[in-house]
Amino acid sequence: MGLASYRRSVSETKRASILKAARKNFLSGGYSRAAMAEIAKDADVSTATLYKHFTSKDELFAAVVHEACTRTETVLQTDISGKSASAVLRHICNAYVRQQFDEEMNEFLRMVIAEVPSVPHLALEVYNKGILGYYNDFRKVMDGLVARGDLKPHDTEAGVRYLGGMVKEFVVWPALFTQNLGKPEDLEAKLGACIDAYLQMYRS
């Protein structure tokens, strides 16, 4: 490895460490109470190094938001070939639930919502890039199922909100508004009911 490649590798490692520490601090105390010095300490870098990567707390928070939104995009990376519409939707719903509960997205959204009064532009970025971005990618999968003939033609932009809304109503919202952010014991049954309701409306 050449010197330039080594330095780039070290820089990328430090940046990843900073983002991980920042996410932890933002989740535990919120954006307003998070301190750059504490984030640098948790990332095991100097404050100067932290500011070399991110010039402000706003910029750092935006990077954490971007990383979270990028994770969201991977949920929709599914190949529909050889799979029934029900199996495709089940895969996406399960992946979404794993992200919400196992990857701390519920906690992340709680924190962002709490910070709307103080950093509304960053909260709006989460909505536009995260939530609306997720719906847009989900719509592309639905369009693929329509094109294949599994689903009848319909407004897939609205359709993904119907299905996503049902999953949120029965699985996500109850967890967001309780202290215990656990999955429901009858998760698979709830997801199955949501998918069945959607397919009753739109299956070809």
- Note the pLDDT tens digit of each residue in 88-98: 999 999 988 98
Mean pLDDT score, 4-10: 72
Question: What pLDDT, on the 0 to 100 scale, is given for residue 10?
Answer: 74
Question: 191 vs 174, which has greater pLDDT?
Answer: 191
The pLDDT assigned to 201 comes to 95
Out of 86-95, 129-138, 188-197, pick the least confident.
129-138
Query: Could you state, in order of their start, the residue ranges of all structural domains in the chain?
Result: 1-55, 62-202
pTM value surpassing 0.75: yes
Mean pLDDT of 107-126: 86
Confidence label for 189 from pLDDT (cuts 50, 70 and 90): very high
| φ/ψ (deg, to 5) at 82 | 75, 5
Neighbour tally for 167: CB within 10 Å: 21
Residue 73 has pLDDT above 60, yes or no: no
Higher pLDDT, 179 or 120: 120
Distance in angstroms (rounded) separating the CA atoms of residues 30 and 82? 44
pLDDT of 6 above 70: no
Please give the class, per CATH, of domain 1-55: mainly alpha
Given a cut of 90, whether residue 190 has pLDDT beyond it is yes
Residue (of 190, 155, 186) closest to 169 by Cα position: 190
Superfamily of domain 62-202: Tetracycline Repressor, domain 2 (1.10.357.10)
Amino acid at 188: E
In contact, 190 and 184? CB cutoff 8 Å:
yes
